[in-house]
Amino acid sequence: MKTQQIYSTTAAVLILGLLHGSTLWALSPEDASFRPLVERVEAKCPDMDCPQDRLHLLPVNGEEFAQTHAQQMSQMTSLVKDIASDEWPDSILEANFYVQEINPQIVKIDLVFDKVTQQTVGYRLIYSNKAWSLDNCNFDPRKPDTLQSCQAGNFLEIAFATMDLKVSFRDPKTMVEFDPSPTN
């Protein structure tokens, strides 16, 4: 019960801080300990939802965040695009997949909360990009209409970033995945 109260109180403080434009971080921009800390916690608890672990994820209302933090949202979108542009050509796009443009959209934002310091230390960003599986179709890149016979879906990937967005990395525990569900 006490842990739940701490999370509730912390979430309320964080939301108020975010709404009022406060900068909340426990790690300096140059601090290289953010990634190893995330990796240690994920090694024991891949979903980062184990009560005994140091880091915990707090969901953020993405629409509200985008409205109140437009500049930061733009920076996050640019950050995930850079990660995808850097990683995908040498990984999943070498497989039997196609994207018309690497332009990922953030679909979920979580705050990464450090229970030891009682501060928010970063973000977990889940993002997607429209994609097609070329496994069972005859796609010719010179003929865009041939893409219609291919399975449409989304690439999904996770990245972490410090609160100031100066330290970021793709989630080392999950590789980009193709989700064949219908796209928008």
pLDDT in tens, 134-150: 998 999 889 989 999 99
- The predicted model gives 16-39 an average pLDDT of 56
For the segment 164-184, the average pLDDT, to the nearest whole number, is: 83
For residue range 30-58, list pLDDT tens digits in order: 356 899 999 999 988 888 888 888 999 99
| Full-model pTM | 0.77
Mean pLDDT, the chain, as a whole number?
81
* pLDDT tens track for 108-126: 999 999 998 899 999 999 9
- Residue 132 pLDDT grade (very low, low, confident, very high; cuts 50, 70, 90): very high
**Band (87; pLDDT cuts 50, 70, 90):** confident
| 3-state SS record for the chain | CHHHHHHHHHHHHHHHHHHCCCCCCCCCCCCCCHHHHHHHHHHHCCCCCCCCCCEEEEEECHHHHHHHCHHHHHHHHHHHHHHHHHHHHHCHHHCCEECCCCCCEEEEEEEEEECCCCEEEEEEEEEEEEEEECCCCCCECCEHHHHHHCEEEEEEEEEEEECCCCCEEECCCCCCEEECCCCC
Give residue 174's pLDDT.
83
**Whether pLDDT at 106 is above 90:** yes
